[in-house]
Amino acid sequence: MFPRALALGYAAVPSSIGEVPDMSVRVRFAPSPTGHVHIGNMRAAIFNWLFARHGGGEFLLRIEDTDRERSTPEALRTIFDAMEWLGLDFDGEPFFQSAHLDAHRAAAGQLLRDGRAYRADKGGLGKGECVVFRMPPEDAVFTDGIRGELRKAAADMSDFVILRADDTPVFHLSNVVDDIAMGITHVIRGDDHIENTFRHVALFRALGAPPPRYAHLPMIVNAQGKPYSKRDGDAYVGDLRARGFHPEAVFNYLTLLGWSPGDDREKLARAEAVRLFTLDRVKSAPAQMDLRKMTHLNAQYVAGMPAADFAAAAREWAQSQAWWREPDETYFRGVCALMQSRTHLYSFIAEWGYFFADDFAYDEKTVRKLLRKEGAGAALRAASAALAETDFSEAAIEAALRAAEKERGIEEGRINQPVRAAATGLAHGAGLYETLALIGKDRVLRRLSRAAEELCGA
């Protein structure tokens, strides 16, 4: 259902001379297939991936699908799509938690036999007896890879349910048993799990397994400084894609949320991030997403793409537009060359209609400001007449416009914007002469006449 490996070629990159790849590193990304892929989860996936690839270890995927009520195939698909989009290739086959319920129950049985757990009816709605883990009497302590030593007094912790009365395992049990089964060496997860970790460490010990190393990532919060909720539309990876972000830019931006290479570099190639990533450089304070900064980074990525790559990406976006007409490839490349540096997000491509068809939309404000003006119609007619006599080269277009201005007594350069508005419907865009030359003489003259007739005032 998913390519076994995305073959991106970033596996096992030793970070520096003398640093031996630690083949024993095994981390996992463990999402629940119950909806969208939350941005915070995906950032955790990225950090796990970076950590694994940096050390030459393995990055595993575990699907925590034991919540039968809420788990859906679509949500599972969404997880795979998001990971593939961001280039997070995982090692081996996905581990489906629902296939290991027996192992979870067996672990509960073992704890029961060892006296580390007991049966009890914790009240509630008379559901009967469940299995409760007995917290050891010692204080809980573990060394967090990001925050250092974390501890919690035994008195502040209480026993907790690991197996429900209906014989289904609770998150804590499944999580720990699966981590043991998968040979997980490092657990890198959100800091909302810190409290759980105190309990999980005790569970590992009770099951006779050494606890993995833990590292708790700071949360990503929304523009209000609050945790993301379903209400925050831009909190999902799929939305970022739909909004025109380039995956490498999103990857790069998310990498920088809570981590930095230690110097002023921000635009980091994936391989570079892999080489530089270490947990001790991860911050412990929460971070806010800044869509504008991410957009800026996106613009840099788009502007820096090889022309052919940009054309391919632009084509996909353009094809879904209502105005799309299959153009000559050379022409399409010409459009891309003109517009690449202006395409901060792929969604900007929605404005490219005027390059491909005559029935593009005129921006109302632009029409009002540039065309419904005294003398605008006459100016356009003069421009049209002058342009008609040229070979429509960029230089000839410029000369013709200057001549038209002279004829109508218009200040030099002032005819450009009305002409642009008439020919493209917009007040912004690439250089006017290049744009007109590319669109072509016939189309431009037709648009100027039409605009003079139908849009110009006075």
Partner RNA sequence: GCCCCCAUCGUCUAGCGGAUAGGACGCCAGGUUCUCAUCCUGGUAACAGGGGUUCGAUUCCCCUUGGGGGUGCCA
Q: Which of 378, 417, 441, 449 binds RNA (CB under 7 A)?
A: 417
Q: Is 96 a residue that touches RNA (CB under 7 A)?
A: no
Determine the angle formed by the axes of helices 247-255 and 291-303, rounding to 10 degrees.
Answer: 130
Residue 209: closest CA among 230, 231, 190, 185: 185
Instruction: Pick out residues in 236-265 that bind RNA (CB under 7 A).
Output: 256-260, 262-264
Q: How far is the CB of 449 from RNA (least distance, A)?
A: 20
Would you list the DSSP string of 117-145?
Answer: EEEE---TTT---EEEE---SSPEEEEET
Residues 178-197 that bind RNA (CB under 7 A): 191-196
Q: Is 156 in the site for RNA (CB under 7 A)?
A: yes
Structure-token pair, residue 431: 């250089």
Cα 322 from Cα 450, distance rounded (Å): 22
Distance, in Å, from the CA atom of 220 to the CA atom of 235, rounded to the nearest integer, reads: 10
Residues 50-69 that bind RNA (CB under 7 A): 64, 66-67
Residue 5 Cβ vs RNA, minimum distance, rounded to whole Å = 26
Q: Is 155 helix (H, G, I), strand (E, B) or coil?
A: helix
C-beta of 351: minimal distance to RNA in Å? 10
Work out which of 4, 230, 293, 406 binds RNA, going by CB under 7 A.
Answer: 293
440 near RNA (CB under 7 A): no
Name which of 52 and 170 has its Cβ closer to RNA.
Answer: 170
- The least CB distance from residue 326 to RNA, in Å, is 26
Contact set for RNA, span 362-401 (CB under 7 A) = none
CB of 301 vs RNA, minimal distance in Å = 12
Q: Give catalytic residue positions.
A: 230
List the x/- string, 118-137, binding to RNA by CB under 7 A.
---xxxx--xxxx-------
For the CB of residue 354, give the shortest distance to RNA in the complex, in Å: 13
Nearer to RNA, 281 or 450 (CB): 281
In residues, how long is the chain?
Answer: 458
> Total residues at the site for RNA (CB under 7 A)?
76
Residue 283 φ then ψ, to 5°: -80, 165
Name 62's bridge partners.
95
Per residue in 116-146, is it b (16+ CB within 10 Å) or e — as a string?
Answer: bbeeeeeeeeeeeebbbbbbeeeebebebbb
Concatenating the DSSP letter of every residue in 183-215 gives: T--EEEEEGGGHHHHHHHHHHHHHTT-PPPEEE
Per rule CB under 7 A, is residue 150 in the interface with RNA? yes
* Residue ranges in 316-355 that form contacts with RNA under rule CB under 7 A: 341-342, 344
The residue within the footprint of RNA, chosen from 18, 208, 225, 233 (CB under 7 A), is 225
Using the rule CB under 7 A, is 153 a contact of RNA? yes
**279, β-bridge pairs:** none
Q: How far apart are the first and last CA of the chain?
A: 64
- Contact residue for RNA among 27, 432, 451, 452 (CB under 7 A): 432
